[in-house]
């Protein structure tokens, strides 16, 4: 590549939000570079075994559309996803399983086809900022450090660029600064799904109360959330030393293969290498403890065996910026749709306790949604920066809802579109992007930006 090339937009981080940001910017005609320290796109979806994606819907209304939906259709057409269907555990409105290897191929080719320049094996190490403007970034490639320049930058790398460029950074919950726990997801095979359904149906009260128990055999893929008494029994016998209160497992794109989302690594900071090292070690140790537990306590898992752990532990919460507007939990549960809404979501507040086994929830009104304002993607301190991914401006509790992949994909599309609009100006300033121009551009690409009906809000 040309190291001295001037780009319109540089996106740092190739996860769900960064990939969509780069794709959207390129589709707007911007010369766009996407850099990532890894070797493929997808972030937590491909690096950490996170799956399925949930949720593109709020009840029966699909609220995440646009480019994220276009990718799912491509995945489905290629046999890499069964598409969207009702959540088998009843927690979210829908789930979307996928093949992570297929995701790597489909997402990568989609971006390349629309002109995104990709650069893997490249890590951000510094930036040069003057007059509240990022002039250049320094990255470390296999050939050594070098400089890259763009008119506008999108931080989809956990606020690394935001922190280096002078933005105010927040971490964890108010009071003690602890973040949600990390999870080392496992991928297991050899599950007898019929026996698992029998296990759930034998005691439905021991599972998530919204589990569609009578529909499980008809659904394209299976999932399980609960077995609370089984966990308590195993803990009493000394067979479950993990701070977790439920069995949580989702069938992948392949029948009989499941992602186990049950490990819990608490009180480790994703910002400190030594703590991340201990988290990885602890997560792998928990993986084998979970396999033994599942084999002995959960029907259908008697012959299950470990295929893989995530190449990297899953991180629910990292740095986030102090944005022009900080999204609050009250905004979500009251179905607020802002005048500058650029993405919508219907996922509930889902807080995995930073210091214990409990997971707490705050549900939305059934079938309702909320908006995410453009102001939550911009900093008052840096002119030519947008922050996508889970580092957007949100309180700890609100982040527990909007951190999921479909919503962050929608946020990424908005960030990339806004970056392209800002880049065409003589003095690029993301804080001066015309909101109606941005919203119109998003709607042309199929993005859902509808208000939650006022008469429904008043009646509740």
- As a whole number of angstroms, the distance between CA 412 and CA 406 comes to 10
Cite the DSSP H helix spans in 387-453: 396-402, 405-423, 435-444
- The set of residues, in sequence order, having a beta carbon less than 8 Å from that of 326 and lying 6+ positions away, is 376, 393, 394, 395
Q: What is the pLDDT of residue 455?
A: 57
Task: List phi, psi (to 5°) of 148.
Answer: -130, 150
User: What kind and span of H or E run contains 228?
Assistant: helix 228-236
Q: Which residues of the chain have pLDDT under 50?
A: 458-460
Query: Model confidence over 412-456: pLDDT tens digits?
Result: 999 999 999 999 998 899 999 999 999 999 999 999 999 998 655
Q: What is the pLDDT of residue 454?
A: 64
Q: What are the structure tokens assigned to 203, written together?
A: 């005691």
Mutual orientation of helices 273-297 and 228-236 as an angle, nearest 10°? 100
Beta bridge partners of 61: 58
Q: What is the pLDDT of residue 357?
A: 62
Q: Which is it for the CA torsion 307, 309, 310, 311, positive or negative? A: negative
User: What kind and span of H or E run contains 225?
Assistant: strand 223-226
The domain segmentation of the chain, as residue ranges, is 6-173+318-459, 186-309
Q: What is the pLDDT of residue 48?
A: 84
- As a whole number of angstroms, the distance between CA 362 and CA 34 comes to 36
Q: What is the pLDDT of residue 21?
A: 98
Q: What are the structure tokens assigned to 441, written together?
A: 């551009």
Q: What is the distance in angstroms between the CA of the first residue and the CA of the last residue of the chain?
A: 56
**58 vs 92, 220, 349, CA distance in Å?**
8, 20, 13
Q: What is the pLDDT of residue 460?
A: 42
- As a whole number of angstroms, the distance between CA 83 and CA 97 comes to 7
Topology given in CATH for the domain delimited by 6-173+318-459: FAD/NAD(P)-binding domain (3.50.50)
Cite the DSSP H helix spans in 298-375: 329-333
Distance of CA 116 to the CA centre of its chain: 21
């Amino acid at each position: 590549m040309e190291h001295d090339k001037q780009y319109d937009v540089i996106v740092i981080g190739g996860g769900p939000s960064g990939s969509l940001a780069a794709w959207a910017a390129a589709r707007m005609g911007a010369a766009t570079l996407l850099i990532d320290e890894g070797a493929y796109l997808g972030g937590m979806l491909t690096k950490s075994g996170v799956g399925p994606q949930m949720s593109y819907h709020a009840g029966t209304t699909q609220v995440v559309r646009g480019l994220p939906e276009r990718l799912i259709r491509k995945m489905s057409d290629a046999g890499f996803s069964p598409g969207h269907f009702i959540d088998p555990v009843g927690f979210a409105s829908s789930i979307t399983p996928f093949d992570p290897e297929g995701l790597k191929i489909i997402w990568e080719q989609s971006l390349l086809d629309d002109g995104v320049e990709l650069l893997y094996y490249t890590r951000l190490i510094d930036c040069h900022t003057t007059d509240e403007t990022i002039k250049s970034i320094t990255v470390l490639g296999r050939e050594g450090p070098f400089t890259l320049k763009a008119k506008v930058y999108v931080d989809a790398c956990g606020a690394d660029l935001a922190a280096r460029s002078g933005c105010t950074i927040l971490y964890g919950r108010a009071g003690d600064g602890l973040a949600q726990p990390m999870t080392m997801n496992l991928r297991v095979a050899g599950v007898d799904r019929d026996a698992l359904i029998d296990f759930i149906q034998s005691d439905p009260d021991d599972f998530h109360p919204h589990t569609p128990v009578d529909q499980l055999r008809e659904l394209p893929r299976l999932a399980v959330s609960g077995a609370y008494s089984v966990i308590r029994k195993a803990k009493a016998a000394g067979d479950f030393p993990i701070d977790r209160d439920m069995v949580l497992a989702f069938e992948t794109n392949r029948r009989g293969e499941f992602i186990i989302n049950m490990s819990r690594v608490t009180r480790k900071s994703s910002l400190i290498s030594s703590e991340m090292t201990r988290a990885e070690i602890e997560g792998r140790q928990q993986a084998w403890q979970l396999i033994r537990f599942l084999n002995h306590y959960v029907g259908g898992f008697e012959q299950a065996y470990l295929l893989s752990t995530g190449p990297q532990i899953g991180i629910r919460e990292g740095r986030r910026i102090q944005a022009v507007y900080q999204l609050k939990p009250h905004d979500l549960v009251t179905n607020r749709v802002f005048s500058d809404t650029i993405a919508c979501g219907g996922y509930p507040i889902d807080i995995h306790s930073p210091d214990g086994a409990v997971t707490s929830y705050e549900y939305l009104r059934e079938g309702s949604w909320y908006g995410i304002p453009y102001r939550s993607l911009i900093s008052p301190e840096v002119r030519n920066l947008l922050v996508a991914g889970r580092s957007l401006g949100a309180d700890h509790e609100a982040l527990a809802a909007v951190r999921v992949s479909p919503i962050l994909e929608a946020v990424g599309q908005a960030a990339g579109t806004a970056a392209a609009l800002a880049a065409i100006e003589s003095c690029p300033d993301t804080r001066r992007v015309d909101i109606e121009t941005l919203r119109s551009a998003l709607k042309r690409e199929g993005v859902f930006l509808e208000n939650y009906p006022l008469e429904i809000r008043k009646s509740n």
